[in-house]
Amino acid sequence: KSLVHTEWAGQNIVYYAETDSTNIRAKLLGEEGAPHGTLAVADMQSAGKGRRGRTWASSPGRSIYMSLLLKPDISPVKAPMLTLVAACAVAKALKTCTGLEIQIKWPNDIVVNGKKLAGILTEMSTEIDYINYVVTGIGINVNIEQFPEEIKDTATSLFLETGNTVKRALVIAEIMRFYEIYYAKFMETKDLSLLQEEYNRLLVNRNREVRILGVKETYKAYALGINPSGELLVRRQDGTQEVIYAGEVSVRGV
Residue 45 annotated as binding site: yes
Give the binding range for ligand BTN (CB under 6 A) out of 31-39, 116-124, 210-218, 244-252.
Answer: 116-124
Total chain residues near ligand BTN (CB under 6 A): 20
Give the binding range for ligand BTN (CB under 6 A) out of 93-101, 117-125, 176-184, 244-252.
Answer: 117-125
Say if residue 107 is preceded by a cis peptide, omega within 30 of 0. yes
Give the binding range for ligand BTN (CB under 6 A) out of 41-49, 148-156, 166-174, 220-228.
Answer: 41-49
**Contact flag: residue 23 with ligand BTN (CB under 6 A):** yes
Instruction: Specify whether the CB–CB gap between 185 and 194 falls below 8 A.
Output: yes
Range 109-114 contact pairs with CB under 8 angstroms and sequence separation of 24 or more: 110/140, 111/204, 112/156, 112/161, 113/156, 113/161, 114/204, 114/253
Question: Residue 113 CB, nearest distance to ligand BTN (Å)?
Answer: 17
Residue 227 annotated as binding site: no
Question: Residue 26 CB, nearest distance to ligand BTN (Å)?
Answer: 8
Could you give the CA distance from residue 207 to residue 200 in angstroms, rounded to a whole number?
10
Task: Provide CB contacts within 8 A for 210, sequence distance 6+.
Answer: 220, 221, 222, 223, 234, 251, 252, 253, 254
Among 134, 136, 93, residue whose Cα is nearest residue 117: 93
Task: Mark residue 129 as left, alpha or beta (left: phi above 0; alpha: psi -120 to 50; beta: remaining).
Answer: alpha
- Write the interaction track for ligand BTN spanning residues 56-75; mark x where CB under 6 A is met and - where it is not: x--------xxx--------
Return the residues of window 125-184 that contact ligand BTN according to CB under 6 A: 137-139
Question: Residue 240 CB, nearest distance to ligand BTN (Å)?
Answer: 31
**Position with the least CB separation from ligand BTN:** 119
First to last CA, the chain: 48
Task: Provide CB contacts within 8 A for 220, sequence distance 6+.
Answer: 209, 210, 211, 212, 237, 254
Residue 92 annotated as binding site: no
**Contact flag: residue 112 with ligand BTN (CB under 6 A):** no
**Contact flag: residue 49 with ligand BTN (CB under 6 A):** yes
Instruction: By CB under 6 A, name the binding residues for ligand BTN.
Output: 21-23, 45, 48-51, 54, 56, 65-67, 109, 119-121, 137-139
